[in-house]
Amino acid sequence: MLFDFVLLDKLRAARHIAIFSGAGMSAESGIPTFREAHTGLWAKYRPEDLATPDAFLRDPATVWNWYAWRRDFVRQARPNPGHLAVARLESLVPKVTVITQNVDGLHQRAGSGNVIELHGSILETRCFDCGQPAEDAALAAAAPVQGETPPRCGHCGGLLRPGVVWFGESLPSAAWNRASDVLDDADVFFCIGTSSLVEPAASLPRYARSCGRTVIQINPEATSHDEIAQYILRGKAGEVMPELLAAAWPRA
């Protein structure tokens, strides 16, 4: 891919780069995205049937088992060249912040040291009632075939749930506030692998643009963020990001 010289100059001059990522970032690690027809995680279900507090209370076992299956998937996945390129940016730019909607922890496993998880983590478990994080022993009991599903909280006896943010729930305020601060400070804002359909996260690129940041969109498909991005790099994150770094810092 050929890159605009002005874009390459902006990257080299940046003091703080923000990376806003979605499920497409992890697609090349073999983790299905949410909304792609047939292969998406919700191909067999409607999201509101699984990723809401009401769905969990209606049928906790189905929701728990869906997350247990996905947690195993995530544990076996490896960061791909896109995650690795994002992590490598930290050695090329004074400051990099990753703001991710992903719950898979792959940015951290790739080596990114400054990651804000807007939608929580599938690798964490907490009590639906009292919010206490679950200990390892409770997680060990999480195998769908053993005992009660989902397991219960050791503090109050409530049902355990995945540490993610469901529809209708507020985003963790600390994560949201940190992300807003990053937008006030970063000069370049990458928007990578998200359909931009889920609010309030999808408002971040629009806000970044309204603050005068350079917005770069990386996605094989068009999304509504194409309208606000100054640069649209049509392709896969695991291919475009390493090529972009090689073009901007050829001797690094």
**Set 16, 119, 155, 225: catalytic member:** 119
CB of 152 to Zn ion, least distance (A): 8
CB 124 within 8 A of CB 161: no
CB of 103 to Zn ion, least distance (A): 21
Which residue number, 13 or 130, has a Cβ lying nearer to Zn ion? 130
Torsion of CA 51, 56, 59, 63, to 10 degrees: 50
β partners of residue 190: 19, 216
The strand pair at 188-192 and 214-218 is best described as: parallel
Binding of Zn ion by 156 (CB under 5 A): yes
130 makes contact, choosing from Zn ion, ligand BJW, none, with CB < 5 to 8 Å by partner type, with Zn ion
Which residue number, 52 or 132, has a Cβ lying nearer to ligand BJW? 52
CB 193 within 8 A of CB 25: yes
CB of 84 to ligand BJW, least distance (A): 14
127 makes contact, choosing from ligand BJW, Zn ion, none, with CB < 5 to 8 Å by partner type, with Zn ion
158 makes contact, choosing from Zn ion, ligand BJW, none, with CB < 5 to 8 Å by partner type, with Zn ion
| Of residues 30, 54, 17, 50, the one with CA closest to residue 192 | 17
Instruction: Please give the structure tokens belonging to residue 80.
Output: 């791909």
Binding of Zn ion by 154 (CB under 5 A): no
Which residue number, 164 or 182, has a Cβ lying nearer to ligand BJW? 164
Binding segment toward Zn ion, per CB under 5 A, in 35-43, 87-95, 131-139, 160-168: 131-139
CB of 13 to ligand BJW, least distance (A): 25
Count other Cβ atoms within 10 Å, centred on residue 83.
30
3-state SS, one letter per residue, for 190-224: EEECCCCCCCCCCHHHHHHHHCCCEEEEECCCCCH
Q: Note the residues at the interface with ligand BJW (CB under 6 A).
A: 22-24, 27-28, 33-35, 40, 51, 101, 103, 119, 164-170, 193-195, 197-200, 218-221, 223, 236-238
Instruction: Please give the structure tokens belonging to residue 90.
Output: 């930290």
Specify whether 155 is catalytic.
no
Which residue number, 33 or 214, has a Cβ lying nearer to ligand BJW? 33
Q: Which residue has the tokens 């209606």?
A: 58
The strand pair at 120-127 and 160-164 is best described as: antiparallel
